[in-house]
């Protein structure tokens, strides 16, 4: 599964988080080039990347990891890079990368820690449509 230097961006997300699932739907709806791939952190692919990074999604406030061209981005860095890769009007948000990550991640972590309380949680991971399934890693 893990391939160094993967050219297509991969978004690893909390598959039971309603906010995260909405974010994936947002990315899909704005990904005109169909470049993004996805994997819930609860999937085999998500487990492999967590093991590779020495990361435990249940203990850390991250709800998204972006793998792109051999690099991994976390928290606000992942979100801003996703918007940059989407391009168009969304790439303007990348200007916030100039804000120190400690400040950006402070706010990101507040949302991440409260995401289940504020947005809810599903009993199971999102089931992609047949058209979208080809963009999900096993």
Query: What is the per-residue pLDDT for 2?
Result: 43
Q: What is the pLDDT of residues 3-59, one digit of tens each?
A: 444 789 999 999 888 999 999 999 999 999 999 999 999 899 998 998 888 877 666
**How many helices and strands (H and E) does the chain possess?**
5, 4
- Is the pLDDT assigned to residue 109 strictly greater than 60? yes
**DSSP of 76-89:** HHHHHHHHHHH-GG
Structurally, the chain folds into a number of domains equal to 1
Q: What is the pLDDT of residues 25-40, one digit of tens each?
A: 999 999 999 999 999 9
Q: For residue 64, is it within any domain? A: yes
Q: What is the mean pLDDT of residues 70-93?
A: 95
Q: For residue 97, is it within any domain? A: yes
Q: Tell me which of 41-55, 67-81, 98-112 is least confident.
A: 41-55
pTM for this predicted structure: 0.87
Q: For residue 4, is it within any domain? A: no
Q: For residue 85, is it within any domain? A: yes
Its domain, for residue 105, covers 10-127
Question: Using CA atoms, how far apart are residues 68 and 8, in angstroms rounded to an integer?
Answer: 6
Q: For residue 102, is it within any domain? A: yes
């Amino acid at each position: 599964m893990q391939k160094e230097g993967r050219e297509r961006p991969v978004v690893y997300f909390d598959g039971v988080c309603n906010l995260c699932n909405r974010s994936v739907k947002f990315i899909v709806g704005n990904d005109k080039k169909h470049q993004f791939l996805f994997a819930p952190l609860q999937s085999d692919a998500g487990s492999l990347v967590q093991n590779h990074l020495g990361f435990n999604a249940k203990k850390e406030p991250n709800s998204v990891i972006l793998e792109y061209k051999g690099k991994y981005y976390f928290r606000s860095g992942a979100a801003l890079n996703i918007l940059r890769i989407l391009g168009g009007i969304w790439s303007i948000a990348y200007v916030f990368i100039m804000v120190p990550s400690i400040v950006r991640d402070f706010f990101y972590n507040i949302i991440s820690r409260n995401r289940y309380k504020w947005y809810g949680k599903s009993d199971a991971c999102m089931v992609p449509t047949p058209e979208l399934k080809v963009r999900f890693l096993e």
